[in-house]
Structure 1
Amino acid sequence: MIYLDYQATTPLAPEAREEMLRWLDGPEGTAFANPHSPHRMGRQAAAAVEVARDRVAALLPPGGRVIFTGNACEAVNLAMRGSAAHRKAGIALSAIEHAAVRDTALALGQASEIPVDGEGLTDPAADLPADIGLIAVMAVNNEIGTIQPAARWAQRAREQGALFLCDAVQACGKMDVPAADMIAISAHKMHGPKGIGALWVRDGLDLDPQVTGGLQEGLRSGTLSPALCAAFGAAAQVAKDRREDDAAHIETLWNRARELFSGWTLNGSADARWHGNLSIRREGLDVARLMSECREVMFSAGSACASGSGKTSHVLKAIGLSDAEAKTAIRIGFGRYTTIEQLESGAEQIIAAAEAQGV
């Protein structure tokens, strides 16, 4: 099978797997301890968690703290629901935010949508209600890969007296993450394990806990998994060390992919975009049939979180596509462990299946 769905999840880095296995058991079975226990084994596990925290923090701006969560959705909810005093003033979010941000804003009420243009980009000079207390704009969109001017949005939030939340799930480990008040990230989108994410919170910002109990993370209750934390930290370290090499490899893959799919229409900006995300469409394409006929190639019709919902992608609609156009789109994602040969073989199968439909 050929895996071309890096926006949904990424393969586990060998270094992360090795670190995770070490803390699942470890030498002589002594690495399974509760990191919140005061005895020697607990302190050893706690030390591993703190090493991991520092490694993850190294990918994020200075002047904040990393709070481990179960995933990025939890991190987003902690940020948005935890900033209760600011929530009362309303929330502004981009029209292409991930469902974690979008649905939480709708649940909290008083949400205003920031439009995007046909390139899938927001304008930090856009009109906003005067009483906005929280602005949420993601760094890189998960469906079409567009890179938002998040640093300028952070400045806009400061000027308006609002907090700024940045979903950096698709950006962390790949590019600089802009300063914000709160940043949500996920391990499995950067070659770490599933089941762990983090919320970065600016120093001096107080949030209300959303999961009560032991408050082991200060703002979040629950026993941490040293294995997951350590693997997250290892993945972060590898991402930092390999960032330039990974970027160069992905640029090579992007250029080849654009050649292979030269007859397809690109969704979103070609330049202000993470080039590991190729969102394309072809008029008349039956995507469900295409995916059924390309069972050995793992790609997507859009966000993995929304697959099977039957709803038209709100991201593709936001950039001006009709329902019919949006339903002819596919997303191909590649990265560190994708080879040119895999990309070419996968593209060959997708293109052949599309041409068999007569489109």
Structure 2
Amino acid sequence: MDTPIDQQPETSMKTVVYHQFGESDVLQVVSSDIPSPQDGEVLIRVHGAGLNPIDWKTRKGFGFVAQQIESSLPWTPGYDVAGEVVAIGSGVTTLAPGDRVMGMVGFPLGGGAYSEYALARADELAMVPEELDLVTAGALPLAALTAWQALFEVAELEPGQKILVHAGAGGVGHLAVQFALARGAHVIATASSGNRDFLAELGVHEVIDYHSTDFADECFGLDVVLDLVGGDTGKRSLRTLGDNGTLVTIPTVTADEVVSAAEAQGLRAHGMTVRPDVFHLDEIAELIEDGDVKVHIEQAFALDQVAQAHQLLEGGHVRGKLVLDCSQLTD
């Protein structure tokens, strides 16, 4: 039976922690005190906390964040949060209790979203459009900001340009194709055959089934490639670029080799790291309000199903996003 958060004692909360790096079974749900917002902070009653690949990679001890937090475990993961403001710290004038907010918080070393309550800086938070429920909104910030910054800051995508998005049905991908379409680009995406209809419904112009078709034989003269796969896929994508085209590769582990391969061929490629940006989130929220962008949730999990959620996340091939419904516990 699901237990609404309102029946929890108001001085303590459930939160997810791990004390060591490892498989999904290191994730534990524990009780801790509800924190108080300090200067410039707000306390959020969390409804949705998005799951992102960086979450499982850090949990396993991979990457920059893991190196930095190793000596300060236990740690609560999660950077994506949406919920309701319940308290504000001194100096906060832009938000009030009851506001529906979302943001990419605690990035990169703070984390803290996998919890019934979370602290966030007021300047990290955007208002959630009425069209979006708070659990769904929790899945949006990191993936949406990654797509937005890659397309419009790094690649400088313009109306009428042709773009290829690898893994177009995934968390970042399904938002990137919609942003590119809203900007007036011609959008091609790679996906499995099972995701063809999903992408067609989003408005993608051409879907290439990567199991049966080599995208490098199908695409040429592209203005932009958004590489969400990395490695060999990123390097082979260079063949599809036009003379003035740009490739943006997201997986950090292979970014250097993709960029080096581009330089060797006299082509442009960039890696990037997402950053919080409340103004970008506001623009994204407007697209959602206007009906131009939809967030697809593949599955929502209760807070104490976090290990199961991580297993699915780590397996890859999720359509859209996974999210924790932090207002629910299964027992």
- What TM-score results when the alignment is normalised by the length of structure 1? 0.31
Select the structure that is richer in strand.
2
Asked which structure has the greater CA Rg, the reply is 1
